[in-house]
A and B are shown apart, each in its own frame.
Chain A
């Protein structure tokens, strides 16, 4: 699957979605839609968040599934949390 580009390759401003297409009937919706914070995470960070939700937020279960120790999983979670905070700050500063 192609990775969704989230920043302008020319000026690095966060991109907006302008056009959405229904693959079944080919209806096209046009407008300006913001991407959410989750979209700006790297694929491995998105996969981590998905696994986290699927495991009901249990770091113990995550550790068993990811074959990592409990503190290692907590460290990855802390890194994702601080990345999301950085993204939120960057998005709000771009809007203002």
Chain B
């Protein structure tokens, strides 16, 4: 079970991972539309008070996936990896986004966005002594969402490791660089589209 949750790509890659990744992406789009969640960056998830349209949710997913794939694939070859199948890199990176399928559930009934607004209103009303009581109901969701972020990064690391077969510096440094560039690239594209 631990292997399936943290290092699934030692067992599943290629078409299997790609199929799972497509299913996860579609579920994330449905969740984003239903519970007003924006995935506005490879690692980002924000809870909106406004309605998130199907077009916006789909665009978010496509740009996040394409950014991650392009950056990871090019960087892997730039660092000396050879013979990586595109289907393995794309499939594992898409399947790695499985934890984010759960992210929109934190915003059922606008739970997160309502309390966020209450906090912002409290700060605006009394900046020196704001009412932070709306923060308390958010704490469990904040902790759980951090777990999902860590889980996503762990799965993306496993995808990078299995697909590139790198070790030591190229494994850790390459992954860190790829993740940062992919995050910046996706955020940049999404801000340009908006």
The one of A67, A72, A74 that contacts B83, using a Cβ cutoff of 8 Å:
A74
The answer to the question of B26 belonging to the interface, with a C-beta cut-off of 8 Å to chain A, is no
> What is the CA–CA distance of A72 and B26 in the complex, to the nearest angstrom?
27
> What is the CA–CA distance of A19 and B36 in the complex, to the nearest angstrom?
78
The answer to the question of A50 belonging to the interface, with a C-beta cut-off of 8 Å to chain B, is no
> What is the CA–CA distance of A69 and B13 in the complex, to the nearest angstrom?
5
Q: Which residues of A contact B12 (CB under 8 A)?
A: 69
Q: Which residues of B contact A35 (CB under 8 A)?
A: none
Looking at the assembled complex, report how far the CB atom of B135 sits from the nearest CB atom of chain A, in whole angstroms: 43
**Do A69 and B9 touch (CB < 8 A)?**
yes
Looking at the assembled complex, report how far the CB atom of A49 sits from the nearest CB atom of chain B, in whole angstroms: 18
Interface size counted on chain B using CB atoms at 8 A:
15
| Mask: chain B, 131-171; 1 = CB below 8 Å from A; 0 = not | 00000000000000000000000000000001101000000
Interface range, A side: under 10
**Do A71 and B9 touch (CB < 8 A)?**
yes
**Do A71 and B11 touch (CB < 8 A)?**
no
Kindly identify, within residues 1 to 38 of chain B, every residue whose CB is under 8 Å from any CB belonging to chain A. Answer: 9-14, 16-17
Closest to A79 in B: B165
Known: A74-B165, A78-B165. A69 touches B83 (CB 8 A): no
Q: Which residues of A contact B62 (CB under 8 A)?
A: none
Since A70-B85, A72-B10 are in contact, a sample of 12 more A-B pairs with Cβ atoms closer than 8 Å, ordered by chain A residue number, is A67-B11, A68-B11, A69-B11, A69-B162, A70-B14, A71-B13, A71-B84, A71-B85, A71-B88, A71-B165, A72-B9, A72-B162
The answer to the question of A75 belonging to the interface, with a C-beta cut-off of 8 Å to chain B, is yes
**Do A75 and B162 touch (CB < 8 A)?**
yes
Closest to B88 in A: A71
> What is the CA–CA distance of A68 and B85 in the complex, to the nearest angstrom?
16
What 6 A-B pairs are tightest by C-beta distance, nearest first? A69-B13, A75-B165, A72-B10, A71-B88, A71-B162, A71-B13
